[in-house]
Each structure stands twice: as C-alpha cells, then as structure tokens.
A and B are shown apart, each in its own frame.
Chain A
Amino acid sequence: MGPLVTEPQKSPLILLTDRPVQLETPRHYFLNAFTPNDAFYVRWHLETLPNSVDLKEWRLHVEGNVGKPLTLALDSLVTKFKASSTAAVNQCSGNSRSRLQPRVPGGQWGNGAMGNALWTGVKLREILDAADLKTGSVQVQFEGLDRGKGPEGSASNRFMKSLDLTDPVLDETLVAYSMNGEPLPMLNGFPVRLVVPGYFATYWVKSLSWIRVLDKPDDNFWMKTAYRIPDTSGGSTTPDDLKAGKVKTVPIAKMPVRSFLISPDGSTKIPSGLPVRLRGIAFSGYGGITRVEVSVDDGAGWRTAHLGGDEGKFSFRTWELSWIPQRPGRYEVAIRATDGESHTQKDEMVWNPGGYLWNRIERQEIMVGAAE
C-alpha cells in the first residue's frame, strides 16, 4: 500500500500515483453513508489537470447537433436552471483491481476508489432541452479541462466519454456544482462534474466544460477501446479465452452489488464474550440495497444485518450487526448484499483484462482472544 500524502483541499490519502494524481480513500472513512469531500478518492487520466479555474472566463459549452448552442457560466447554471440533488456512489471501474488473479496492469486500487456524496446541480436533460437537440442525434459526449502530453488526436491527449441518448440513465444524470453541500474540490472536478447515478465513474467527467451532441456513435479511444468489459454474464472471462480472441466486449456501465465490513478492521484482537458492532456499507447500481447478510463462520451460516437510513437507491447504505464471539479463535467474517434487482454477491472470482467489476464477497479475518 502506498504512503499517505496530502494534496490541495485533501486530508492524507493513499498515494497511487502523483502525476496525474490518483489517491485512494482509507477504509475508516466508509463508516458513514457520506464520504467527506476532503477524503474523497481522486483519479485523473491526463497529467495536465486544472490547478485553477477563472469563472469569469470559464463556460460550459453545449454544442454539436443542436439548434441552439449554449455557453453557460457557473452563475447561469445555478440561477437559470432548477436545482436537483441525488445521493450517488462514485466508484472507479478499477476499484479493487489489485484483488484479481492473475494480476492485471493498471491502477492497483484496494477497495478505496469509491465514495458517496450528495450531488446538487442541473439535470442534464434540462440543459439538452434548452439546447434544442436536432433530429438524428444519437449520443452525447462529455469532456473536461484536463489534457495530456500525447500528440493531438491521440488517446493520451484528450479524455472524452459518451452516453446513448436513449439510455434511461440520462434522466438521472446531473451536471453537479455542489458535493455534500460544498463546492467540488479542484481534484474532484471543480467547477462542475457529470454525475451518472448507478454507473461507474468513468462517465462522471470532471471539470466538465464541453457537452457535445453527436449524430453518430463516438469512436474515440475512451469509448471504442478502453473501459470495455467482456459481453458475458458478470463481465468475467479467462486469460485463455482472451488469447484465443473469443472475447466480445461492450462499454462498462452499471455497478454490480458490493458490500464491505469497515469495523472492526482486523487490526486488533477482540476479547471473547463482549459485544462487537460489525458495521459497514453496501451499494448497487441495480436498484439499491435490500439486504445485507453477515457470516462469522466463513459462509456456513448467515445472519441478516440491520440497514441504516435510506438515502436513495444510488447511495451507500450503512448496515450494522451486533456480534458476541463466544470462543477464542480465528474467525472469517464474510459480508454479502442483495440489491433491488435480486442480485446477491457471489463467492466467485471476477477476471477480465481491464481489472473491472470486482464484487466478490469480502472477507475479514478477526482474532478473538480469551477473556480470562
């Protein structure tokens, strides 16, 4: 695990890379449903990322296949459009990539490339309606202020993501200027970022400055080649099938169900006979969380945990269960969640070459000691 480092507007976070900046949120921050802005993880693709934005000059451009191109100042977004708020989990496609076997190249995240915030901003649909989409529009493309040092026209120069105009997620999508009731930190996309509830963070373009309506599907590298998953059930494949050229891919989209034990974290021994509060979070891009179950015997028996307050189907849901370990010894605590579309986490490996979609049942070894 990397060292803890400080960057502007951030508490000490786990360093993955310094340029471009990639920082992971330490585990204990996930005890609460909302992740503080200063602890929220950071992931940029291109190294020339913003250090300052002049709102006198900055505009959100809405262009392409539209009848009325728009250039919107931040003030216009705040005052001329209705504000909407959504609690939503932002999770990197490669969260937990370091768990895959065989290991795959890429950002070697533990479980902390995720966070949940209350996002406030303007519904994307309202902005698109104001721009008057022309017939023949098929996708909408998003780009931020970040640029790379690679040659123009190459994947290492610009980062762009697109969504289908027929995708129902567009009705939930926000152009957010507020995160947990505060302006976005520069490293999380000041002044506005896209919020695509239920979808992996690759679509949540930071320092969003261009919205382009396209009349044909986006074939830029970040859609056509990167961030794609095997078109199989669960998005898994094998190195052999990949080598044999058998793997068809589709763009990554919704986040499968996950759950985590946050406390206790296994760092200290627990005395037998005393109650322990097992606490954590769960989430899913498929209709929120309906059940969290805990096993203290490595999956042999399961007990249902108490769910915390419901902040909406795209949010973290906290859970808690009291446990009194009766005998000293080594315990394997396992957690599994079920979502609104009845998917339950499985105890199976996930593997694909991008290192995406990891959602295997999490386990924590806890040592219980004698009390006399």
Chain B
Amino acid sequence: MTSLKGFALITAICAFFASAALYAQFNAGFYTLQGPGSIRQTMPSAATASASYHVAAYTLYPAMLAADDGEQEVASYCNTCHSTRYITMQPPLPADTWTAEVNKMVKTYGASIPDDATQKIIHYLQSHYTPENRKK
C-alpha cells in the first residue's frame, strides 16, 4: 500500500513539473516527501542575483488513512486536487454530509471519478469518518 501511494505521489510530482513548464514567469506546485525538518531552510543552491526568486519545494505530510476497501480509490482520485489530509482534518461528519461532499467534488469541482469509484469512496468515508465510527 505504501509503495503504491509513493508511486502515485511521484507520478503527481512529475505532473507538477509538466504543468509548471507552461508558465515562463513562475514555477508552481513543487512538493517533496523529504521534509526539511529544520526551523530555517537554506537558500536553494542555484540562487543568483537574477530576477528569479525561489523557495524550496513544499513539504508533504502524508495522512494515515483507515486501511479498508476504498482506500486506494481515495488515495488516487481525491489526491489529484488535494492531499488526503483534507479528509483526516475534518471532524466526524454524518454519513449524508460525506455523500454531499463527494458529490460536490464531482459535480461542482469537476473531479472526473467513475461512478463505481465515487460510490466506493462514499462508502469508505461513511465507514470510517462519521461520529459513530471515527477512530480518532
């Protein structure tokens, strides 16, 4: 599972580079799993007196998702637009709120998730993240 997630993230990071190349004036969307772990980060080694201003990649802090059927769909589809910390950050939410949230992602935000995966994701969230069953 961990290696699968790692693969998904590397794929995502490659995609960030591709989209970043579209813009000459800035680079965007660089994230890394290797957190700096220090209070002050050093200046990137490529820093020069040019007009280009860089910061290091932003740090990913992968969330611990409940291990169950549907976790893989969550990890691949939800992760496209946002990390799964968006799920673990939420308070326990009623089952119908989770249905509404996932439908909002598809209908309002345009997430392209096949119907069967959408149902699996809703079922997974309702099985682990409601007031009745949320572990922590």
Contacts and interface: CB of A to CB of B under 8 A. Distances in A.
Given A47-B82, A48-B20, A53 B26 contact: yes
Contact of B56 (A8, A17, A20): A8
Contacts of A2: 89
Contact of B55 (A54, A55, A98, A186): A186
B110 interface: yes
Interface stretch (B35-43, B68-76, B114-122): B35-43
Contact of A47 (B37, B51, B54, B81): B81
B27 A17 contact: no
Contacts of A19: 31, 58, 60, 82-83, 85
B8 to A, nearest CB: 12
Given A8-B55, A55-B52, A17 B109 contact: no
Interface in B88-124: 89-93, 97, 101, 108-112
Main secondary structure of the interface of A (DSSP, over half): loop
Interface in A45-104: 46-59, 98, 103
A12 B39 contact: yes
Given A6-B39, A54-B25, 9 more contacts: A6-B35, A19-B82, A19-B83, A53-B52, A55-B51, A58-B26, A154-B110, A155-B109, A209-B25
A146 interface: yes
Interface of B: 15-16, 19-20, 23-31, 35-39, 41, 50-62, 80-83, 85-86, 89-93, 97, 101, 108-112
Given A48-B20, A105-B90, A8 B41 contact: yes
Interface of A: 2-3, 5-9, 11-12, 15-21, 46-59, 98, 103, 105, 107-108, 145-151, 153-157, 186-187, 190-191, 207, 209, 221, 225
B51 A51 contact: no
A49 B90 contact: no
Nearest to A3: B61
A139 B130 CA distance: 42
A48 B83 contact: no
Contacts of A55: 51-53
Contact of A50 (B26, B56, B89, B93): B26
A21 B19 CA distance: 18
Contact of B52 (A7, A20, A54): A54
Contacts of A157: 110
Nearest to A225: B108
A209 B26 CA distance: 11
Contact of B97 (A12, A17, A105): A105
A143 B1 CA distance: 38
Contact of A150 (B55, B92, B110): B110
Contacts of B92: 103
Given A12-B39, A105-B101, A56 B51 contact: yes
A54 B81 CA distance: 25
Nearest to A55: B51
A52 B28 CA distance: 7
B80 A155 contact: no
Contact of B109 (A12, A51, A56, A150): A150
Contacts of B15: 149
Contact of B110 (A46, A57, A59, A156): A156
Contacts of B51: 54-56
Contacts of B90: 105, 108
Contacts of A47: 29, 81-82
A12 B41 CA distance: 11
Contact of A190 (B35, B50, B53, B93): B53
B55 A51 contact: yes
Contact of B28 (A9, A50, A59): A50
Contacts of B81: 46-47, 148-150, 156
Contacts of A149: 15, 80-81
A156 B108 CA distance: 9
A59 B89 contact: no
A7 B35 CA distance: 8
A109 to B, nearest CB: 10
B25 A155 contact: no
Contacts of A51: 26-30, 54-58
